[in-house]
Structure 1
């Protein structure tokens, strides 16, 4: 499976955040933001945003003298046998916060062994998850999650997927023509959320943004009932802005 080459905005933020964490980790006694800026080469304004995010997520902490050291969350994620549980708990807390922030059910999906898989999600009484009336793995052409994942594959990868999962019509809005689908995927800007406007299910709208880490294709998505469709664009933009902490947890 080959990936398309263009990286996304969250990807760039995570690469920078990892550089900052590496710098902090090298200074056991703490390191100032001035030293971090010098060692990473990052602009002060961008570094300030990254440090704020890293503190908020528990990956870094600031001492009383203003220096930064490694945070508890990073120590947990690096602790061998407990890492998988710590990562799962960390991702769930992040998704719960994101659900409340966007006012919608949120999901992490990965493309694993040629299949669409929802690996984590957060829903609630005020943020119901999508009713999986047709298997997500068979309906990538219709869902925001599926289209976001397919958009990150090259032509052969997409063709391989659709040779195993045909483009069935699920609603009157479902794209079933492969040429039309591929054109939409190719014209999708990598930093703009992919939308599903009742293509998978009548009464449901969704959005997804890519969170590719290394060679693993993934996305962060949300869904909401049609009556909240007027909030979709704003919620999708919020999802895009807050994708970096999720991707960072997966990358560490």
Structure 2
């Protein structure tokens, strides 16, 4: 990647944190103000950056439009969304859809809980890959050599006492997930949050996405959340069938 492109791209995450002036941008890039100004002008011309009346810069509307367009072209999200909404209406809890892309697991859709306690997750945000139920489902489907390579290069943060401690434990859990066809995160990322996930399959039977139900334990216990697994798996099966162009199964998956 050229130095100019690299510097321009590094401006965008900075502005995502909030408006910044020329001096702050130059300091972040460790370049002269004239260089930072040249980069900002180029980004501004393309609509990716906007200069406010106070002379600070923020992300431009064009960037948001592109991000939304990119999300909308993910067919699995478009197909899954009505099913996720219906699932949310039935269970009342936060529902997510995630995909594996460029070494990260990202949320591409979210339907908020009807309860006052909300999840901090956001569309486009990477998940905690070593503990999240959706991540386990997506990584468990990788071919064994790739699965092992991914597991061995990951870090294993101790988010809680229940977090996955190392690659060996992660690979063992992925094997279990691969065999049973569903996954959980019971306090592995946050002590108070539990999650159960199910895979969305493509025409070749491979996992193309994963959907999940998440809830704080002040709303439902882990056991109560696990009781929703059949409903979640039916939803995932319906999404899979529509995505693959197949007739949905007549009977619910237990």
The answer to whether the superposition gives a TM-score over 0.5 is: yes
Q: 1:132 to 1:92 in 2, by over 3 A?
A: closer
Q: Deviations over 1:60-108 (max 9, x none)?
A: xxxxxxxxxxxxxxxxxxxxxxx95997565322211111222211111
Cα distance in 2 for residues equivalent to 1:247 and 1:127: 31
Match of 2:237 among 244, 247, 250: 244
**What's 1:169 paired with?**
158
Cα distance in 2 for residues equivalent to 1:187 and 1:203: 24
| Equivalent residues in 2 for 1:1-252, closer than 5 Å | 84=73, 91-126=80-115, 130-132=119-121, 137=126, 139-162=128-151, 165-188=154-177, 190-213=179-202, 214=204, 217-227=208-218, 228-229=220-221, 230-252=223-245
Cα distance in 2 for residues equivalent to 1:107 and 1:225: 14
Runs of 5+ in structure 1 lacking a partner? 1-82
TM-score for both structures, normalised by structure 1: 0.58
- The 8 Å contact of residues 142 and 199 in structure 1, kept in 2 or not, is answered as yes
- The 8 Å contact of residues 108 and 120 in structure 1, kept in 2 or not, is answered as yes
Q: Deviations over 1:14-73 (max 9, x none)?
A: xxxxxxxxxxxxxxxxxxxxxxxxxxxxxxxxxxxxxxxxxxxxxxxxxxxxxxxxxxxx
Q: 1:87 to 1:149 in 2, by over 3 A?
A: closer
Cα distance in 1 for residues equivalent to 2:148 and 2:178: 21
- Choose 1 or 2 for highest CA Rg: 2
Cα distance in 2 for residues equivalent to 1:232 and 1:180: 24
Aligned residues: 169
* SS in structure 1 at match of 2:177: coil
Higher relative contact order (CA 8 A, sep 6+): 1
Cα distance in 2 for residues equivalent to 1:128 and 1:209: 23
- The 8 Å contact of residues 198 and 205 in structure 1, kept in 2 or not, is answered as yes
Q: 1:223 to 1:97 in 2, by over 3 A?
A: same
- Following superposition, the deviation at residue 110 of structure 1 comes to 1.1
Cα distance in 1 for residues equivalent to 2:81 and 2:116: 15
